[in-house]
Amino acid sequence: MSKKLLAGMLLGGAATYAAWKRMAPAKKEALKQSFDEKFNKVADYVTDYTLDALDIVDDLMSDSNLNDKMSGAADAVNNVTGKVKDSANKVVNRMTNDDFDKQTADIREELAKNKEAEEDNNDIIIDATSDSKQSISNDEKASQNEVEDSDK
């Protein structure tokens, strides 16, 4: 298809050139003038259309205060960016300036104290055997009471 298109363009161009050469000079001038007029009309139409479109866009921008909204959005983005930078700086400062060895030693010391305190407070003892003996003795007492009541 591209070969046919190229051949058509070449043949059309050659035919146009041949017709142009055979044309009388007066007709050439008239054709040039006609082409210039049509070209200027099209250019004027495109320019008017573009200016009308720009006027519509300007009216919409002024009516909806889109500029204010856009600048407000830009300010919000700048604020968020500033907060992120501040947070990053705080993290970097903490990582570079804090004494983690001392903090780790303090935490280990606290854990050791808590462990000693927990070992001292191991006074809760759960003994299921004493509960079962007590419940059996209660059952025995109840059955003995029933036997005594039935004997009476």
Tens digit of pLDDT for each residue in 28-70? 899 889 989 999 999 989 998 888 888 888 887 776 666 666 6
Per-residue pLDDT band at 14 (split at 50, 70, 90): very high
pTM given for the model: 0.34
Cβ pair 55, 47 in contact under 8 A: no
Q: How far apart are CA 139 and CA 131, in angstroms?
A: 12
Give the pLDDT mean for 125-150: 62
Of 97 and 29, the one with more pLDDT: 29
Cβ pair 60, 66 in contact under 8 A: yes
DSSP character at residue 145: H
Q: How far apart are CA 56 and CA 63, in angstroms?
A: 10
Most confident of the ranges 26-30, 52-56, 78-82, 145-149: 26-30
Tens digit of pLDDT for each residue in 116-137? 766 666 666 666 675 555 555 5
138: left (phi over 0), alpha (psi -120 to 50) or beta: alpha
